[in-house]
Chains A and B, each alone.
Chain A
Amino acid sequence: MSGLITPRNIILLTLVGSFLFILSDLTIKKYIPVALKRNIVGVDVHKLSKPVVAEMGGLVLIAFYLAGLIIVSLLLPGKSIYPLTLAGVIIISGLIGLIDDLTKLGGKEKPLILMLCSIPLIFSPVLIPRVRFPFIGWTRLFYVYPLSLPVIISVGANSVNMLDVLNGLMPSSTLIVLFTLTFSGLLIGREEVLLLTVPLIFPLFAYYKYNKFPARVFGGDTGSLSTGAALTAVAMITKLEFEWVVATIPFMMNGFYIISSVGFKERRKIERPTFLTDDGKIAASDKEKTPITLVRLVVGRKPLPEVEVVKLINCLVIFSSILSVLTVAFT
């Protein structure tokens, strides 16, 4: 226990969270008409009317992640290195996401460039090259850990990016994982997890309000890559790596299916794995060359409305999160 959970700190974190939620909610509300006016838009392909939706809402998300992390580091200066390390990861991943949104990075370049997100983690004193495994306990990985870190952060960021395909799916599923990490962290006495998850959870809630069906704003790669990288970094800083792996099994499954069926191709260049039926439901494409994605798997038996698909995938994430908490019992 690090003595972080005191009445004063709980009140402070609640106030910071509420402040972040209200401000990010207002900012996204203001951002939508501005983005539409300036033609920063994308087409919602999973609707029959193909509506035009404000894009790059992820910029607002990043701004509030960073604001929250800076406020927390100022309020709790003794622990400031934790939020500041995470802020470093978010800045780099956000910049890569922005470049991806503006110039469309290739399927092979993106995972490589995303490895740069590990720089703040490698040089941060909070990162301990030890991993806690079920049955084994703590392991020393002094050489393997720093070497594998760039790959892990790239995989984590990309897995969230690959699942950001339906209205509200990215914020809702990552919120579930963030809650799981917070719960697991508190369960094993890693109270620092609160300093990292509170500044992420509240802006993500505000974003979910506008990204859920029918979406009024899309986060773009800026939002999904930075959220994915942040989620991975939280797990690494708080030494909840194994719990993170288990909680994100549906994300990993989706990524693995895509890569194993079509390789490292940019998703915009891949043939669509699903199509819309005449009544607006999502149906699985039966073409050979299309990748097996999690969404395609869910609608494999029969076409489903978008909301139902999101609910089912979230049920899978909740299920893997329960397994993740169970895993804590083995460690």
Chain B
Amino acid sequence: MEKYHAGLFILVIFVWTSLIIGIYMINMFVVPIGRGGDKDYVSALMFGFLKVSLSIGVVGIWLLAWYKMTRKYFEHGLKRNRGNEKD
């Protein structure tokens, strides 16, 4: 295994953390609203919808970053590979 391959493990951790963070955010914001409280049903629903969108947005940005990182990582590896072939 080389240094380059460590990047693959980082990509796996990235997905794992995005899952954990996403669920943590849902637990923090959405679940308490779903359980009810002193808010009326409509405003609780609207508020909940906003928080779900926020959670999905954050996880989405995180996953997009992961995808960009993968592409950069791969293109960098490929460039180095071509460099080696020229040597």
Residues on A close to B: CB < 8 A?
133-136, 245-246, 249-250, 252-253, 256-257, 260, 283-284, 286, 292, 296-298, 300-303, 312, 315-316, 319-320, 323, 327, 330
Contacts and interface: CB of A to CB of B under 8 A. Distances in A.
A330 B27 contact: no
A257 to B, nearest CB: 7
Given A253-B15, A312-B1, A330-B20, 14 more contacts: A133-B26, A133-B27, A134-B24, A246-B16, A249-B15, A297-B73, A300-B4, A301-B77, A316-B8, A316-B12, A320-B16, A323-B12, A327-B16, A327-B20
B20 A134 contact: yes
A300 B9 contact: no
B49 interface: no
A301 B19 contact: no
A300 B78 contact: yes
B12 A312 contact: no
A292 B70 contact: yes
A319 B8 CA distance: 11
A253 B15 CA distance: 9
A133 B25 CA distance: 12
Contacts of A330: 20
B70 to A, nearest CB: 7
Contacts of A246: 16, 19
Given A246-B19, A253-B11, A320-B12, A312 B78 contact: no
Contacts of A312: 1, 5, 8
A217 B1 CA distance: 28
Interface residue range, chain B: 20 to 34
B12 A134 contact: no
B40 to A, nearest CB: 22
B2 A301 contact: yes
A298 B13 CA distance: 16
A222 to B, nearest CB: 29
B82 A292 contact: no
B41 interface: no
Closest 6 CB pairs of A and B: A300-B77, A301-B4, A301-B77, A135-B27, A136-B27, A300-B74
B14 to A, nearest CB: 10
A80 B71 CA distance: 47
Nearest to B71: A292
Contacts of B15: 249, 252-253
Interface in B24-47: 24, 26-27, 31
B75 to A, nearest CB: 8
A323 B2 CA distance: 22
Contact of B19 (A245, A297, A300): A245
B60 to A, nearest CB: 13
Nearest to B27: A135
B81 A300 contact: yes
B23 interface: yes
23 contacts: A133-B23, A133-B27, A134-B24, A135-B24, A136-B23, A136-B27, A245-B19, A249-B15, A249-B16, A250-B12, A286-B82, A296-B74, A297-B73, A300-B81, A301-B2, A301-B77, A302-B2, A302-B4, A302-B84, A319-B9, A323-B13, A327-B16, A330-B20
B67 A260 contact: yes
